[in-house]
Structure 1
Amino acid sequence: MPGSITGTIVDPTGAAVAGARVRISHGDQSAEQEALSGDDGQYSLPNVTPGPFQLTITLVGFTTQASSGILRSGENYTVPQIAMPLATAVTEVRVVPSRVEVAEDQIKAQEKQRVLGVVPNFYVSYDHHAVPLAPKQKFELAWKTTVDPVSFGVTGAIAGIQQAQNDFSGYGQGAQGYGKRFGASYANFVASTYIGGAILPSLLKQDPRYFYKGAGSKRSRVLYAIANSVICKGDNGHWQANYSSILGSLAAGGISNLYYPAKNRDGAELTFENTLIGISESAAVNLLQEFFIRKLTRNIPNYEPVSP
């Protein structure tokens, strides 16, 4: 003889839950039945086949609940009160890093690049599509370069060579002469790095880095490396004349006249000549970067070479 099943649905506070769908199943013994809870939270399932049953209670906004029991023939079975917890809200939050944050991660990786694990190789990006640097990051890269211990060591070596050759003879010899040469050489390095690598690139919105090509024919890579002595990437991603580097060399040469001995100061003509020499040196360094230095540089991020 069929029986009936009744019960009440409440929320975590004990308040009645209306509209909850109560579905009863008996496995494969009979068809499923269902009912909705009323305003008082109560539900009723009449004419239920006796035997084991499973209740499933669902309602949007609440966690699905289940209850089971055994209905005897002709029994009016009352299910213990069922409390439905509120469903945990699932919110998808997609965090997209800003361009500045992406660039920060990229230059942090670049600052680990060292030739033979020693000599800084910070101003080279092996990601041809690297995000442009913000002005603050351009100054950060210049700062990291100028205060690196290796930079002081190289400056000391240059000053030693100059002293041995009696370059800038107005400085004299001895410890005092060496100190002046060291100071002048370091001042040149700092001026050219900050002016050509941070100040002008920030003002002119240009990227001071060399972007490694690494793909294509040898001829295309040679031409690319040489061209990058006079062109650079703008912060807009387009190639343009490298005013930052060229004007930076001129400015650094002019500033050096403030501290070189009077008899060793360059005139305007020599300053321009040195700028042209600097462009040639930049082309030579770019060729080394393109074909040799990458093989000797450690801690390079794993980027695929991409033709521009």
Structure 2
Amino acid sequence: MSGQHMASWAIKFAVASVFTVQFAFGQQTSPSVPQSAEQTKQAQQKEDSQRMLGVLPQFAVTNEKHPPPLMPRQKFRLCYRTAFDPVEFGVVGFEAGISQANDSFSGYGQGASGYGKRYGAAFADQVSSNFFTNFAYPVLLKQDPRYFRMGQGPVKRRIGHALAQEFVGHKDGGDATFNWPTALGALTAGSISNTYYPAEDRGFGLTMTRSGVALLYGSLGGLGSEFWPDISRKLHRHKEKLPAGDQTQKK
């Protein structure tokens, strides 16, 4: 399967699956939580604009303690925007380059063809992972796919909170529960990858290993989601304190 075909497969898979899940759960309603349309709109706009370093999307992060639950269509929007954000195409390209440099998935070979296959596989991985983690399982299990920032408190406690969020999720109603969408999403996406990875990189053991690594990276990613706003504020304040001449020189 060529890299172009893999990317095409990932897009078609996401679109087809969306219609299937929406048809089955189109009538699902979110729990009744007092909220105004304006509050919901403002919260959504804020989350939609969140980016680490002004580049990397953080659309699945909420700063609210009790945010309004996401409707199925909002979960799909989160999935789509995260998977197909323009930055992601560059990230996937970088991952494919590292993979080729290390000769990972050697069955794909080298050269332009090998790079294309690695790019297609990496793109398919992130689309399927996003689909199951941010949309399909959250809709099926009525759970919120977002990361809930603690935002304040002792640093050690916030670190523990960030690392645990990969396993401690939230129901649409707000109650804490096991993060099934993340665990099942990693396993499902890992299993699907066996359809396009080289033969020597397939199998139950490798699937479980990759799923575990994905969960580990997700936990570490929680640290960025938790502390980046604090870092960003400090950098901004430091810049404001600099004399105008110093700011001009730094530019």
TM-score, normalised via structure 2 length: 0.74
Offset, 1:207: 0.7
Matched, 1:224 2:136: no
Alignment of 1:205-220 (within 5 A): 205-220=142-157
Deviation at 1:104, TM superposition (A): 4.6
Aligned mate of 1:259, from 196, 212, 224: 196
Maintained 8 Å contact 1:100/1:134? no
Does residue 281 (structure 1) correspond to residue 217 (structure 2)? The answer is yes
* 1:169-184 alignment, distance < 5 Å: 169-184=106-121
Q: Does 1:185 align with 2:111?
A: no
Q: What is the match of residue 70 of structure 1?
A: none
Q: Structure 1 residues 199, 100: closer, same or farther in 2, change over 3 A?
A: farther
Distance 1:107 1:261, change over 3 A: same
Q: Which residue among 87, 95, 119 is the counterpart of 1:150?
A: 87
Separation in 1 of the partners of 2:215 and 2:157?
Answer: 19
Instruction: Give the aligned partner of residue 203 of structure 1.
Output: 140
- CA 1:109–1:291: 2 relative to 1, 3 Å: closer
- Distance, in Å, in 2 between the alignment partners of 1:296 and 1:140 is 26
Match of 1:246 in 2: 183
Q: Distance in 2 between matches of 1:100 and 1:269?
A: 48
Q: Aligned-pair distance for 1:225?
A: 1.4
Could you list the structure 1 runs, at least 4 aligned residues long, displaced by more than 3 angstroms after superposition: 97-105
**Residue matched to 1:233:** 170
1:141 aligned to 2:82?
Answer: no
Q: What is the correspondence of 1:108-147 to structure 2 with a 5 Å cutoff?
A: 108-147=45-84
What is the letter of the counterpart of residue 56 of structure 2? V
Distance 2:156 2:92 in 1: 34
Question: 1:248-284: CA deviations, max 9, x gaps?
Answer: 000000000011111222x212222222222222221
The structure that has the greater radius of gyration is 1
Point out the more displaced range, 238-247 or 210-219.
Answer: 210-219
| Alpha-carbon distance in 2 for matches of 1:104, 1:272 | 39
SS in 1 for 2:177: strand
Greater strand content: 1
TM-score (norm: length of structure 1)? 0.61
Do the aligned partners of residues 260 and 293 (structure 1) sit closer, same or farther apart at CA in structure 2, a change above 3 Å counting? farther
Gaps of 5+ in 1: 1-96, 298-308
Deviation for aligned residue 1:195: 0.5
Name the count of aligned residue pairs: 200
Aligned-residue RMSD, C-alpha: 1.9
Distance 1:170 1:108 in 2: 44
